[in-house]
């Protein structure tokens, strides 16, 4: 999945009005789309934990459907009603030339929320019943569908921002359809044969389990439109928004394995004696990916990416090259986040994770506010410095909250209780 954003940036950056289209997609439409769908991102974790019997599966499916419909209606209201000019444009302070391309691009993400909700719900079921390889295949199919749409639509004279979100939407719909198709035999077989949960899953219990999970990605993704709103109020707003998409996509590619490491820690920490190996791997792998990002930032590789592949003009390419090194620590910090979060989740201490995200969000708002108030710095530089420091603050908070578990030499807490 980390390859999607670089692929989109490479195509859109070589189309007409690249600066405006990259700003509309990467600076406005995509962050706003992520925020709208953020409440259902943790459907994967919820389904993995709760889809243990047919009754629980059906109740969670109903909850997923109602939530996805509600978020889709919200998306439609923002994209197709006066809420866009009256609320979205002034809140994000979108430059005039970006407003309509961003709205159309955002509108093309309308089916995205439901498709992601259904996909992650089905993937959780597949994980619970040992069909993890289906997810890897589905991700590959999604990437081929996304890239195929990108290349096809690029030949049709369609605006780049529209191509970007339309391709993402088609890709995730294809992946959702594949996950639904491959989960049918699980529903008909192992799930239907599983004994009913005791006690049965109730709505109140489901909400108590899911709301804290949903709050974490919502707060994290809230930082993205906040970052866009901050950059639009600082010098070189259009340039900052345009470079944000290819730079953020590249940074995500380098940190994506660190994000996935969270599930590895949760899975393997249940085995005795795994803590030293998991901790050592997090530091080594994180250092390697951060080092690779530094190498790219200080060598001609950065210019090849921003100028030759993405196709940015000299001014925008130089802005990307000069700021890429600011996110170099993020891959290492992502591995540490996953290590400490995995420790806490395995001990069933999820509150510190939400606290760490609140600390991340506070740092983000504070840094961007200082950039707007004092001015003088290019918005992209302020946003990247703030983003890296916020990740550092989150890592420190998670470490402090998991330190007792790490010092015990075990990932299990005396307070741990089995999931119901």
pLDDT, tens only, 87-106: 999 988 888 999 999 999 99
pLDDT at site 335: 95
Note the pTM of the prediction, 2 decimals.
0.79
pLDDT at site 413: 43
The pLDDT-based confidence of 24 (bands split at 50, 70, 90) is very high
What is the average pLDDT score of the chain?
A: 87
pLDDT, tens only, 226-248: 888 888 888 888 888 888 888 98
Q: Which of 126-130, 197-201, 273-277 has the lowest mean pLDDT?
A: 197-201
Residue 1 CA from chain centroid, whole number: 10
68 neighbors 60 (Cβ within 8 angstroms): no
Integer Cα distance of 8 and 142 in angstroms: 13
Number of other CB atoms surrounding residue 204 within 10 Å: 8
The pLDDT-based confidence of 409 (bands split at 50, 70, 90) is low
- Checking if the pLDDT of 108 tops 90, the result is yes
Integer Cα distance of 142 and 337 in angstroms: 27
pLDDT at site 269: 73
pLDDT at site 414: 41
What is the mean predicted confidence (pLDDT) over 80-86?
Answer: 95
Integer Cα distance of 122 and 80 in angstroms: 30
Integer Cα distance of 269 and 263 in angstroms: 10
Question: What DSSP string describes 204-235?
Answer: HHHHHHHHHHHHHHHHHHHHHHHHHHHHTTSS
The pLDDT-based confidence of 200 (bands split at 50, 70, 90) is confident
152 neighbors 161 (Cβ within 8 angstroms): no
What is the mean predicted confidence (pLDDT) over 59-71?
Answer: 92
- Checking if the pLDDT of 408 tops 70, the result is no
> How many alpha carbons fall within 13 Å on the CB side of residue 14?
16
Spatial CB neighbours of 105, under 8 Å, sequence gap ≥ 6: 24, 25, 28, 29, 30, 159, 161, 162, 164, 165
pLDDT, tens only, 296-339: 999 999 999 998 888 888 888 999 999 999 999 999 999 999 89
Tokens at 291, concatenated: 């080092």
pLDDT at site 415: 43
- Checking if the pLDDT of 145 tops 80, the result is yes
**Position with higher pLDDT, 19 vs 264:** 19
Integer Cα distance of 142 and 124 in angstroms: 17
What is the mean predicted confidence (pLDDT) over 154-163?
Answer: 91
- Checking if the pLDDT of 347 tops 80, the result is no
pLDDT at site 384: 93
345 neighbors 335 (Cβ within 8 angstroms): no
pLDDT at site 419: 41
The pLDDT-based confidence of 176 (bands split at 50, 70, 90) is very high
244 neighbors 29 (Cβ within 8 angstroms): no
Give all strands (DSSP E) within 160-268, no chain letters.
none
The pLDDT-based confidence of 264 (bands split at 50, 70, 90) is confident
pLDDT, tens only, 323-333: 999 999 999 99
- Checking if the pLDDT of 411 tops 60, the result is no
pLDDT at site 416: 44
Polymer length in residues for the chain: 420
Per domain, the residue ranges of the chain are: 1-208, 233-420
Share of the chain above pLDDT 70, in %: 96
Integer Cα distance of 142 and 136 in angstroms: 10
Tokens at 74, concatenated: 């919200």
Of 239, 416, 241, 265, nearest in space to 339 by CA:
265
Place of tokens 């707007």: 372
Integer Cα distance of 59 and 140 in angstroms: 30
Integer Cα distance of 106 and 116 in angstroms: 16
Place of tokens 């004279």: 157
């Amino acid at each position: 999945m980390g390859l999607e954003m670089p692929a989109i940036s490479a195509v859109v950056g070589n189309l007409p009005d690249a600066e405006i289209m990259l700003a509309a997609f990467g600076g406005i439409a995509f962050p706003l789309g992520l925020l709208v769908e953020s409440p259902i991102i943790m459907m994967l974790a919820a389904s993995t934990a709760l889809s243990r019997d047919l009754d629980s599966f059906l109740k969670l499916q109903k909850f997923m459907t109602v939530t996805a419909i509600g978020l889709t209606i919200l998306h439609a209201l923002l994209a197709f009603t006066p809420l866009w000019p009256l609320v979205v444009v002034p809140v994000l302070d979108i430059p005039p030339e970006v407003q309509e391309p961003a709205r159309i691009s955002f509108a093309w993400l309308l089916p995205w929320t439901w498709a992601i909700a259904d996909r992650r719900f089905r993937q959780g079921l597949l994980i619970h019943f040992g069909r993890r390889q289906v997810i890897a295949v589905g991700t590959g199919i999604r990437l081929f569908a996304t890239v195929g749409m990108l290349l096809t639509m690029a030949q049709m004279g369609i605006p780049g921002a529209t191509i970007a979100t339309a391709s993402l939407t088609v890709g995730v719909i294809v992946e959702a359809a594949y996950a639904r198709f491959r989960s049918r035999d699980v529903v008909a077989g192992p799930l239907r044969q599983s004994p009913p949960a005791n006690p049965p899953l109730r709505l109140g219990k489901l909400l108590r389990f899911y709301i804290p999970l949903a709050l974490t990605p919502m707060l994290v993704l809230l930082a993205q439109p906040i970052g866009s709103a901050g950059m639009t109020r600082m010098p070189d707003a259009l340039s900052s928004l345009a470079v944000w998409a290819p730079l953020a996509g590249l940074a995500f590619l380098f940190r994506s394995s660190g994000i996935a490491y969270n599930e590895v820690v949760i899975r393997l920490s249940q085995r005795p004696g795994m803590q030293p190996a998991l901790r050592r791997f997090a530091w080594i792998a994180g250092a390697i990916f951060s080092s690779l990002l530094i190498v790219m930032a200080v060598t001609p590789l950065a210019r090849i990416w921003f100028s030759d592949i993405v196709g940015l003009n000299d001014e925008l390419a130089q802005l990307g090259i000069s700021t890429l090194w600011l996110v170099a620590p993020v891959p290492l910090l992502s591995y540490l986040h996953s290590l400490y979060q995995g420790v806490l989740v395995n001990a069933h201490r999820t509150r510190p994770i939400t606290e760490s995200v609140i600390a991340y969000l506070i740092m983000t708002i504070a840094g961007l506010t200082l950039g707007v108030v004092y001015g003088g710095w290019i918005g992209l530089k302020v946003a990247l410095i703030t983003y890296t420091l916020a990740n550092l603050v989150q890592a420190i908070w998670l470490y402090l909250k998991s330190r007792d578990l790490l010092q015990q030499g075990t990932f299990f807490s005396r307070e741990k209780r089995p999931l119901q």
